[in-house]
Amino acid sequence: MTEQTLTVGIVGLGLIGGSFAKALKTHTAHRVLAHDKDQTTLLAAQMTGDIDGALTDETLGQCNVLLLSLYPQATVDFLSTHAPAIAKGCLVFDCCGVKRFVCERIEPLAQQFGFRFFGGHPMAGAQFSGFSHARDNLFKGAYMILAAGEINDIVLLEQIKRFFTSLGFEKLTITTPQEHDRIIAYTSQLAHVVSNAYIKSPTAQRRSGFSAGSFRDMTRVARLNVPMWTELFLENGDYLSDEIDLLIEHLQAFSNAIKTQDSETLSALLQDGATQKKKTLTNR
């Protein structure tokens, strides 16, 4: 990757892929080609000028950068089929919410066919999905995670950083696929599980006039893309189930203290949570 105008291919024009397209056309001079299984979405992106043309088997080899904004299995399937057509040296980034599943399957293809693969995860999103909700500022101030092995080429790493910061990202986070999946089980996946479980109380249907910011914040991500999150949860099931079990233990401690009217224990539990929250504010 150099500083000249690039040809960037995007596979999947949902919320993330569509936002990449919009950000690229708004903030850079790069040529943007895209593929989506929904031809109506592809046509809409062309008509609005968010892409320069379709990404096809013939134009795939022209890409300097390839962004894969698909579900994990679909990402693996696409690259397994199209890897021979990707130009040698092309930088390929996936945008999946799990990394072990993808990296373990794609890294051998990258070595075989000569493209550079980086497991990526843009830490941005919304409770709504699809190209109609994509926007050019979705990544403003966000972190871009690269879950890859050791990157020895500092010049290349700096170029990758400039590419993503030009789209609004604040900075890169470099990690491993294992560490990514372990932490993301807590910071993202568990939050979606909790929100989805929380809204299932019958009281939720009677809360009109009794709710404010807390209810809104707790339920924001209960409305989610069910097929995508089902796949993500199952592919990261070991780490996620551990986090769920730990949360249940903490909730049970609160329940026990309240049922037994144990104010001392309850106060200690609340104080511990408040202290832990304070620590997160200084360790972003």
pLDDT tens-digit map of 72-108:
999 999 999 999 999 999 999 999 999 999 999 999 9
Q: Does domain 7-175 have CATH number 3.40.50.180?
A: no
Confidence (pLDDT) at 212? 84
Supply the pTM of this predicted model: 0.90
Q: What is the Cα–Cα distance from 238 to 121, expressed in whole angstroms?
A: 19
Cα 233–chain centre separation: 13
What residue segments make up the domains of the chain, in order of their start? 7-175, 181-281
Domain 181-281: CATH superfamily, name plus number = 6-phosphogluconate dehydrogenase C-terminal like domain (1.10.3660.10)
Q: What is the pairing mode between strands 143-147 and 116-122?
A: antiparallel
Q: Where are the beta strands (DSSP E) in 107-216?
A: 116-122, 143-147, 171-175
Confidence (pLDDT) at 100? 96
Confidence (pLDDT) at 277? 93
| Cβ-Cβ contacts under 8 Å for 169 (sequence gap 6 or more) | 122, 139, 141, 142, 143, 144
Q: How far is CA 103 from CA 155, 163, 231, in A?
A: 23, 21, 16
Confidence (pLDDT) at 211? 82
Q: What is the Cα–Cα distance from 96 to 70, expressed in whole angstroms?
A: 7
Cα 107–chain centre separation: 19
Using the 8-state DSSP alphabet, how is residue 97 labeled?
S
Q: What is the Cα–Cα distance from 10 to 14, expressed in whole angstroms?
A: 10
pLDDT tens across 175-194, in order?
999 999 999 999 999 999 99
74 in Cβ contact with 101 (< 8 Å): no
Cβ of 99: how many Cβ atoms within 10 Å? Answer: 27
Comparing CA positions, the residue from 126, 139, 201 lying closest to residue 169 is 139
Instruction: Tell whether the torsion through CA atoms of 187, 192, 197 and 199 is positive or negative.
Output: positive
| Low-confidence residues of the chain: pLDDT under 70 | 1-3, 127, 149-150, 282-284
Comparing CA positions, the residue from 1, 14, 8 lying closest to residue 52 is 8
Phi, psi for 269 (deg, rounded to 5): -65, -45
Question: Both tokens of residue 97?
Answer: 């919410």
